[in-house]
Amino acid sequence: MTAELIDGKAVAAKVRQEVAAKVAGGPAPGLATVLVGEDPASEVYVRSKRRACVAAGMAGFHRRLPGTATQQQVDEELARLAEDPAVSGILLQLPLPGHLDADALIDRIPVHKDVDGLTPGNAGRLAQGRDGLRPCTPAGIERLLDEYAVPLSGAKAVVVGRSVLVGRPMAHLLLTRDATVTLCHSRTKDLAAETRTADILIVAAGIPGLIGREHVRPGATVIDVGIHRSRAGLHGDVRFPEVREIAGLLTPVPGGVGPMTIAMLLANTLHAARRQEP
């Protein structure tokens, strides 16, 4: 069996068009991006987010602070954006320089402007199965699964990785959709024994090539969240050529999950804006 590939670029383009059409029908949402320091990868990500936001007809508010900024300076900037009625969503680009307390700063973002879904308020709502703003990468994966009509209710889903950004919220999203969920991590004893039970396998471990054919049940849907840059190009956590021979559906890297993250950020910003309208 050769897996059908999931076209994340096409689905992301569809989401972006949907968002742009809805933006055109009302007041322009505003997305504030906050970048602290000079991390080159973060600069690239923030630039892409700002461009996508403007392309969707939204207003961009970019705040750039030096790598030497104090906790209080970042805190005050976030407080100003929290108060600003033109700002519907606030994105604090992570990771922050090591001297800053990221959790304390995330706590400064009001739950209704938390378009990354990272505040305890939104994470708690998700854990309780209540509505709220969802982290963009897991929300993008949910949309990919729906676009490809992958049944979630009653499915056996295995998530590899328990980060606050990807693995944990992914597990909760799948649970909310009535999947039976196993969450694996670095202390899991027999990873392959767990992953082979999966109808849906979502891999977000950040380890290049961690998952091979021995980890995959024939016909399973495999979603690769990992992004690793080498001289040969971008790769994921999944050994693509061998897993392609056994999976039913598979996301490529690049062109799978990656494009969905920004698309869902736009969708979240629109959602946040419309809920804030009087």
Question: Which residues form the interface with ligand NAD (CB under 6 A)?
Answer: 137, 160-163, 165-167, 184-186, 188, 191, 204-207, 210, 225-227, 257-258, 261
Of residues 137 and 176, the one with the C-beta less far from ligand NAD: 137
Q: Is 22 a catalytic residue?
A: no
Q: How far is the CB of 260 from ligand NAD (least distance, A)?
A: 7
Q: How far is the CB of 15 from ligand NAD (least distance, A)?
A: 14
Of residues 89 and 140, the one with the C-beta less far from ligand NAD: 140
Q: Is 131 a catalytic residue?
A: no
Of residues 90 and 191, the one with the C-beta less far from ligand NAD: 191
In order, the DSSP letters of the chain are --PEEP-HHHHHHHHHHHHHHHHHTSSPPEEEEEEES--HHHHHHHHHHHHHHHHTT-EEEEEEE-TT--HHHHHHHHHHHHH-TT--EEEE-SSPPTTS-HHHHHTTS-GGG-TT--SHHHHHHHHTT---PPPHHHHHHHHHHHHTT---TT-EEEEE---TTTHHHHHHHHHHTT-EEEEE-TT-S-HHHHHTT-SEEEE----TT-B-GGG--TT-EEEE---EEETTEEE-SB-HHHHHTT-SEE--SSSSSHHHHHHHHHHHHHHHHHHH--
Chain residue at closest Cβ approach to ligand NAD: 163
Q: Which of 7, 113, 114, 116 is an active site residue? A: 116
Of residues 82 and 207, the one with the C-beta less far from ligand NAD: 207
Q: How far is the CB of 151 from ligand NAD (least distance, A)?
A: 23
Q: Is 49 a catalytic residue?
A: yes
Catalytic positions: 49, 93, 116
